[in-house]
Amino acid sequence: MAIAEQIKTDLQGAMRAGEKAKVGALRLVLSELQKAAKEGAADELAVLRRERKRRLEAARAYRDAGREDLAEGEETEGELIGAYLPAELSDEALEELVRRAVRDSGAQSAKDMGAAMKSAMEAVDGRTDGKRVSGLVRAALQG
């Protein structure tokens, strides 16, 4: 529960500093972490990734609707949540992990995409978005 404790500490600091937007975002994230812990899901990083993804998708939707002000708020929250996540893999490191995972899984064609993705996602260990991994696995299997 190390991440939740850090968020609690940061929340208290934001409350003292009067940072209303940060307080709201941290309260929501802390609530989601506590809910997941209560349900027995101990993977705090998965909760943070899900919440960051929700914020970024909402920002995209707001931007498509012409609501730049709301989009910026969602992106700010997404960045705040992202600060608690481990650093993302570089393109080169990700490509190497995917190549190794495809080779180790024995995947030969697009029919083997599931096995290759499983192996690749285990190797990546949440350090990047699944869409990036999927694109690279698909490219590796096609040629």
pLDDT digits (tens, 9 = 90+) for 49-87: 889 999 999 999 999 999 999 999 999 999 999 899 888
pLDDT at 31: 93
Helix ranges (DSSP H) in 18-112: 20-38, 44-64, 68-82, 91-105
Q: Does domain 91-142 have CATH number 1.10.10?
A: yes
pLDDT attached to residue 143: 66
| CATH tag, 2-82 | 1.10.1510.10
Report pLDDT for 104: 86
Q: How far is CA 35 from CA 7, 38, 138, in A?
A: 15, 5, 35
Residue 30's pLDDT is 93
Domain boundaries, the chain: 2-82, 91-142
User: Model-level pTM greater than 0.75?
Assistant: no
Q: What is the pLDDT of residue 113?
A: 86
| pLDDT < 50 stretches in the chain | none
Please work out, in degrees rounded to the nearest 5, the angle formed at the alpha carbon of residue 53 by the alpha carbons of 49 and 57: 175
CA dihedral (88, 60, 35, 81) positive or negative = positive
